């Protein structure tokens, strides 16, 4: 049923758990689904951090577009900060992954964004600045 009617499978599994009918639980698929939920939350955090960095890089370095897009980019930055805060509130154990994720994505995002506009060698936006609701690049 897991492969043919996922929704029905989820309902049956929840019902079996409520009734404590352990023999009806599809343990293998249930374990994989629970692990997948955790991975999904981590991917969500990674995505919000990447999008936050992208917009901070735009605000810092994309001079030709800034006058047209600054307020939109600042709004996006505020939204991504809010979403990151929500993910961390709902998943406090992910807080210890924020810095390693930031370090992992930083150079990759700079490389990707440098295809659209010039970014100096080794630019650095600190994680603490990036997450600070009151901080925006001064350009």
User: pLDDT tens digits, residue range 103-115?
Assistant: 999 999 999 999 9
Amino acid 138: pLDDT: 82
Higher pLDDT, 122 or 53: 53
Please spell the DSSP secondary structure of the chain, one letter per residue. Answer: -TTT-HHHHHHHHHHHHHTT-GGG--HHHHHHHHHHHHHHHHHHHHHHHHHHHHHHHHHHH-HHHHHHHHHHHHHHHHHHHHHHHHHHHH-GGGGGGHHHHHHHHHHHHHHHHTTTS---SS----HHHHH-TT-----
Amino acid 26: pLDDT: 97
Domain boundaries, the chain: 41-131
User: pLDDT tens digits, residue range 49-105?
Assistant: 999 999 999 999 999 999 999 999 999 999 999 999 999 999 999 999 999 999 999
Using 50, 70 and 90 to split pLDDT, how confident is the model at 139? Answer: low
What is the rounded average pLDDT of the residues 2-27? 95
């Amino acid at each position: 049923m897991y492969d043919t009617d996922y929704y029905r499978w989820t309902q049956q599994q929840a019902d079996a758990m409520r009734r404590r009918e352990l023999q009806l639980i599809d343990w293998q698929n249930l374990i994989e689904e629970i692990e997948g939920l955790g991975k999904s939350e981590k991917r969500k955090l990674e995505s919000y951090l990447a999008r936050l960095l992208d917009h901070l890089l735009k605000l810092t370095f994309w001079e030709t577009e800034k006058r047209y897009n600054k307020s939109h980019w600042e709004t996006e930055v505020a939204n991504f900060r809010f979403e990151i805060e929500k993910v961390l509130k709902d998943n406090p154990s992910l807080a210890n992954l924020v810095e390693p994720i930031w370090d992992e994505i930083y150079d990759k995002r700079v490389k990707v964004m440098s295809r659209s506009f010039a970014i100096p060698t080794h630019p650095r936006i600190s994680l603490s600045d990036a997450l600070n609701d009151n901080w925006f690049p001064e350009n």
